[in-house]
Amino acid sequence: MNAGRDSFLQYLQYEKRFSNHTLLAYSTDLSQFYSYLQLTYEIKELAEISHTVVRSWIVSMMEQKISPRSVNRKITTLKTFYKFLLRQNLVTENPMLKIQSPKTSKRLPVFVEKQKMDVLLDNVDFGEDEEGVRNKLIIELFYATGMRLSELINLRQQNVDLAACQLKVLGKRNKERIIPFGHELKRKIEEYLKTKEAADSEYLLTGKSGKKMYEKLVYRVVNKYLSVVTTTDKKSPHVLRHTFATHMLNNGADLNAIKELLGHANLSATQVYTHNTVEKLKNIHKQAHPKA
């Protein structure tokens, strides 16, 4: 069984070019599934796994109060895994064909209202030293470009074209994309570069050591400053990505353009932001219509 799993993970890494984060998720899901098979059924061969065995694992996870969203991700992992096994002739039947995913409630993307972002960027004091200027630039970059956390951390100075007001990021599956930005962000980047001690660093954003920033530090910075203007439970870099997309859509941006800017593989991932717009319209209608 391990040979099938190892081949599958190598396929995801080298042919599908999945990110390390995604690879870890797939690997963890399969390890948990394999552990369940061995402990509960003493199964050691792929051919022994039936749809009833898979269902029992799903029931086991639900009994452990694992969220339907997490269970569905693990089911997706197994579906992808079995498609690979069938193509490689490592199994002859697909037990996942009889598996249904648990229903999940749709969660709207959490975002920060425009007025609160204006307060954060115009009125909050970040400080004028290198760290303060850098921290404000972190917020500005997320909000102005919608980039992911990994893309921001790995953003190299050579990939920031100040003359053209655009930057190049390396997204999921190692796909590069160009993101334009405005003159205001250009000024913020130039201001930071003037205060930056590690001027020769290959990365745009650096810590005190001059090395590129790490995820927890960026999380702390974003959480600290979003806490000043919002009480929402989630205060992560991804919230700023959601904020970018929602504000773009509310101001008339084309959904396909937002899809390209975010680096989504398909439009369905971007369409989730239309729900926020619908909710906004409902609230406006409720407040404004005399019969609402």
201/174 Cα distance (integer angstroms): 22
Q: What is the mean pLDDT of the chain?
A: 92
Q: In this prediction, what percent of the chain has a pLDDT beyond 70? A: 95
Residues 264 and 128 in one domain: yes
Quote the pLDDT of residue 279. Answer: 62
For residue 105, being part of any structural domain is answered with no
What kind and span of H or E run contains 178?
A: strand 176-180
Burial 117-128 (b: 16+ CB within 10 A, else e): beebbeeeebee
Give the pLDDT confidence of 52-89 residue by residue, as tens digits: 999 999 999 999 999 998 999 999 999 999 999 999 99
| In contact, 259 and 250? CB cutoff 8 Å | no
Kindly state whether residue 171 falls inside one of the protein's structural domains: yes
Does residue 159 lie within any of the structural domains?
yes
Q: Do residue 141 and residue 87 come from a single domain?
A: no
Buried b vs exposed e over 172-199: b needs ≥16 C-beta within 10 Å?
beeeeeebebeeebbebbeebeeebeee
pLDDT digits (tens, 9 = 90+) for 189-198: 999 999 998 8
The residues with which 156 forms a beta bridge, in sequence order, are: 203
Residue 188 shares a structural domain with residue 281? yes
pLDDT at position 274, please? 81
CATH number at residue 203: 1.10.443.10
Active-site residue, selected from the candidate residues 148, 196, 212, 259: 148
172 assigned to active site: yes
Asked whether residue 292 is assigned to any structural domain, the reply reads no
> Are residues 148 and 86 part of one domain?
no
Determine whether 73 is an active site residue: no
Name the catalytic one among 73, 172, 234, 280.
Answer: 172
What CATH code is carried by the domain that includes residue 41?
Answer: 1.10.150.130
Task: Tell whether 93 and 212 lie within a shared domain.
Answer: no
Q: Of 36, 67, 98, which closes a domain?
A: 98
Question: How does pLDDT run across 82-113, given as a tens digit for each residue?
Answer: 999 999 999 999 999 999 988 876 677 899 99
Q: Which two tokens stand for residue 99?
A: 């598996």
Q: Residue 204: which of 141, 132, 121, 129 has the closest Cα?
A: 141
* Tokens 């920033």 sit on residue: 213
- Kindly report the pTM of this predicted structure: 0.72
Q: How many CA atoms lie within 13 A of 228 on its CB side?
A: 18
Residues 123 and 267 in one domain: yes
Residue ranges making up the domain that contains 43: 2-98
Number of domains, the chain? 2
Q: Active site includes 273? A: yes
